[in-house]
Chains A and B, each alone.
Chain A
Amino acid sequence: MRPRQKQLLYAGLTAILILIWIFYSADDLQTTAVLAGTVRAATLLALGAMCGMIGERSGVVNIGIEGQFLLSAFAAFTITSMTGSLFMGTLAGVGMGLIMGWLLAAMAVGLKVDQIIAGTVLNISALGLTSFFYDRSRSLGIGKYTNIDLGPLADLPLVGTVFFSRPPLTYLTMALLVVVHIALFRSVWGMRTRAIGEHPGAADTVGIDVLKLRYFNVTIAGGLAGFGGSYLALEAVGTFSRAMSGGRGFLALAVMIFGRRTPFGAYAAALFFGFTTALQNQFQLNNTFDIPPQFVGMLPFVVTIVVVALSGLFGSMRDPAALGQSYEKG
């Protein structure tokens, strides 16, 4: 990061903290609710963004995250409702994500289908399959994941509720952020992954199997999106409904780009986008503005468009050089 960007970042953070403090002293209940909603929305976006960045760092665009969320949420919901176990449901969601990731890899890496088309296939099939098999009468049966207090930390004002009294998958996501960060930037796997996204030919000449690694990465990344699907159905909402991913898979891609394809950057961006979602929810709840709820609901997406359009101002980041290209030997 250049010094000027760092200054901007710190200035922004300070401004945000001051704002939170002002709002909190004015209305602690609503502020806490909005911030808790922010973390709730950010968790899903962060998972989707991590899925996207592992693919893109290896040179594969994944616009099928939306579909991966949706079908995994469906699998998680259905299995939990059948077995009565949230844990089994979560596993099923991850498993479905892996399958969808593998499918994307098979198309985009194996068969060298255009990556955008391959992702679109995932989105369309997920929507079709879940709509067809959706059984309105089915319910989760047991309740969704409940909050776990992290000891005395949970009693802290504001941050206690916002960060330390959350359901388990949220904590796991935060741990995953650290794991993915270390894996991407410190491990052998990460170094090779970044290499095949930038210059697959160079990786090939030092004996790295580009296609195999891409296959693996896109599949594993699918597991992260699958985990996001489980989170959506079993923790954030507690049920399944048609098209419940509601565009968040695409939003996750914006989060990924805004976060410069790094886990922590993505989480910061996810919190920002999550905030607009939470704010929008709170506006609708309080009926703050006397306009149709559909307009208020547009808020996160309008912000996405504005922010992505303006993101050049925050210093542009180059895409991985081999992004979107299938690799041919020789």
Chain B
Amino acid sequence: MAETLLGAYKVRKEFPGVLANDDISISLRPGRILALLGENGAGKSTLVNILFGMYRPDDGHVIIKDEVVDLRGPDEAISRGIGMVHQHFQLVPPMRVVENIVLGAEPTRHGLVDLAEARRRVVELSERYGLEIDPDALVEDLPVGMQQRVEILKALYRDADVLILDEPTGVLTPQEADHLLGVLRELTETGLGIVFITHKLREVLAIADDIVVLRNGQVVGETRPSDTDESGLAEMMVGRNVMLQVEKSVSRPGEPVLEVEELEVKDDRGQIALDGLSFEVRAGEILGVAGVEGNGQRELVEAITGLRVPSVGVMKIEGEELTGESPRQITKKGVAHIPEDREKHGVVAIYSLAENTILNRYHRKPFSIRGILRRDVIRLHAQDVVDEFDVRTPSISVPASSLSGGNKQKLIVGREFSDDIKLLIAAQPTRGIDIGAIEFIHRRILEQRDKGAAVLLVSAELDEILGLSDRIAVLYDGKIMDVVDAQDANREKIGLLMAGITD
């Protein structure tokens, strides 16, 4: 058996302006799980893309089964037994499970696709590995956990002896994630090697045999779960001591600020996404909305911020009707919004930082008078935001696109927080940003709460919900399963609700 199933030797990859991988060496042995841990931008994705043949390294080698190889594309990696489960599933939604699994390696008979044979092989595979699946279902009808199973089967169908999984648990409930970890462990018993990419410390400790920590494109540590713990890993990942737990005081909720009654909202396809939702958020409290993504969170945020018109229901802010108002009018009533997709709805990439700090108030005094923008006022304001919210940038006149994700997010938070706000809608406020920025944004959100704002926090990161919220509402299939007080909540309880299970 090979000593190294899959490895990198002194791999280096440079993109314009970024050294994404600098002299990285790793080695995966058969039957083991290697966790690649690192923050966004640490170089994990670049490394696995090199291992999978999507990129070619500028320097160094990829090693497959003790052999130095020069991968010209993913098909070559696949044929050498490397399988990859991408973070964004690479499945064709309107096609059947079996078609998706065999696509690109179809069994044929008389020159036509032999679907019966394909189906037979898929069923056999799914039985052998205990990955139950309906081969005739359309992928678009499957929940994400099932889609992921299809992805894994897709790799196994191609006789993979290495599986690379890129952030595989991000879209799963805690129980589904635990189940996946169990499945992966079983897979290694057949000699399969697994590369597991994540930024979740708990998972690394639970599943990995070997841990490699990346930071700024370099390997900064190699360890094993028995030799470390969460704070040890976090320190390696960030390069300094970090507080994993947010410190917060007891909330003193006041009057209801946001009241939502019988809200019904349709999604882009005209299907009901929110089905008769009722809840309230009071001044000085954070209501966390937990749930697997795609259960109505986006539609909820868009409805409250005026980006989507509800079909039925009433929304009120401090007793004043909000339903059907435009986003601008809603902003005027003191609603701040940290949007889920910062690139699309948070900043205008080609505008300067300064311009981005006034996107929600450029039409008002003192930023413009009679339709003319006042550059000097805007610059002063922008400088204030940048200083106060620690946006790391060479200047306020560079385009927003030049900022890192974390700095963009701080810029957005700075813009939204520079007025007195009554209600904050924070959707995935720390997605894909570095730990430093996460800590910073969490502190600022708590600050707003303590100043008396009502906060609706929507997040797919359960730790974030548990850490910040005073009450937690769990959204499943467009309905609120339950609202629990934060002190009574734990991962298991919320996880079951996220899966739609009530006892």
- 19 sampled A-B residue pairs with Cβ under 8 A: A187-B111, A187-B113, A190-B113, A191-B103, A192-B103, A192-B104, A198-B93, A198-B95, A199-B93, A202-B91, A202-B100, A205-B86, A206-B74, A206-B75, A206-B78, A206-B90, A206-B103, A207-B78, A318-B94
Across the interface, name the chain B residue whose C-beta is closest to A190: B113
On chain B, the residues within 8 Å of A188 by CB distance are 106, 108, 111-113
Q: Known: A186-B112, A188-B113, A191-B99. Contact between A207 and B104, CB under 8 A? A: yes
Hey, which chain B residues are within 8 Å of A194, CB to CB? 92, 95
Q: Is B73 located at the chain interface by the 8 A CB criterion?
A: yes
Provide the residues of chain B in CB contact with A318, threshold 8 Å: 94
Given contacts A186-B112, A191-B106, A195-B92, 4 further A-B contacts (CB under 8 A): A182-B112, A195-B95, A202-B103, A208-B103
B74 engages A204 (CB within 8 Å): yes
Contact of B113 with A195 in the complex, beta carbons under 8 Å: no
A330 and B54 form a contact (CB under 8 A)? yes
Nearest-CB residue, chain B, relative to A199: B92
Cβ of A127 under 8 Å from chain B: no
- Give the contacts of A187-219 with B (CB-CB under 8 A): 187-188, 190-192, 194-195, 198-199, 201-208
Q: Determine the distance from Cα of A163 to Cα of B89 in the docked complex, in whole angstroms.
A: 48
Interface size class, chain B: 20 to 34
Residues of A within 8 A of B89 (CB): 202
Chain B residues with CB below 8 A from A186, complex form: 112-113
Chain B binding surface, main DSSP class = loop
Give A195 to B90 CA distance when docked, in angstroms: 11
Chain B residues within 8 Å of A, Cβ to Cβ: 49, 54-55, 73-75, 78-79, 84, 86, 89-95, 99-100, 103-106, 108, 111-113, 154
CB–CB B94/A198 < 8 A: yes
Name the distance in Å between A294's Cβ and chain B's nearest Cβ.
41
**With A205-B74, A206-B103: A191-B113 Cβ-Cβ less than 8 Å:** yes
C-alpha spacing A204/B94, complex, angstroms: 17
Which 7 A/B pairs are nearest by Cβ-Cβ distance? A207-B75, A206-B104, A202-B90, A186-B112, A205-B90, A199-B92, A198-B92
Is A321 engaged at the interface, CB distance under 8 Å to the other chain?
yes
Chain B contacts of A190 at CB under 8 A? 113
**What residues of chain A have their CB less than 8 Å away from a CB belonging to chain B?**
182, 186-188, 190-192, 194-195, 198-199, 201-208, 318, 321, 329-330
- Chain A positions within 8 Å of B78 at CB level: 206-207
Inter-chain contact A206/B105, CB cutoff 8 Å: yes
Residues on the B chain within 8 Å of A202, using CB: 89-92, 100, 103
Most buried by B among A201, A204, A205: A205
B311 CB, min distance to chain A CBs, angstroms: 19
**B78 CB to nearest chain A CB (Å):** 6
Complex Cα spacing A202 to B92, Å: 7
Report the minimal beta-carbon distance from A45 to chain B, rounded to whole angstroms: 26
Alpha-carbon distance A199/B147, docked complex (angstroms): 15
Contact partners of B103 in chain A: CB under 8 A:
191-192, 195, 202-203, 206, 208
B91 touches A203 (CB 8 A): no
Which residue on B lies nearest to A207, using beta carbons? B75
Question: Bound state CA distance, A318 and B95, in angstroms?
Answer: 13
- CA of A192 to CA of B92, assembled, Å: 10
Contact A201 B104 (CB under 8 A): no
The answer to whether A207 and B92 touch across the interface, beta carbons within 8 angstroms, is no
A330 / chain B contacts, CB cutoff of 8 Å: 49, 54-55
CB contact between B90 and one of A187, A199, A329 (< 8 Å): that residue: A199
Q: CA of A195 to CA of B104 in the docked complex: distance in angstroms?
A: 10
The answer for the CA separation of A203 and B106 in the assembled complex, in Å, is 13
A188-B106, A192-B104 given; A206·B95 CB < 8 A: no
Query: Contacting A321 at CB < 8 Å: which of B55, B73, B93?
Result: B93
| Residues of chain A lying within 8 A (CB to CB) of residue B55 | 330
CA distance A167 to B103 in the complex (A): 40
Tell me the minimal C-beta distance from A27 to chain B in angstroms. 46
Closest to A205 in B: B90
A206 contacts B113, C-beta separation under 8 Å: no
Determine the distance from Cα of A190 to Cα of B94 in the docked complex, in whole angstroms. Answer: 14
A43 to chain B, nearest CB (A): 27
Q: Return A263 CB to nearest CB of chain B, in Å.
A: 16
Residues of A within 8 Å of B73, CB to CB, are: 207
Residue of A nearest to B55 (CB): A330
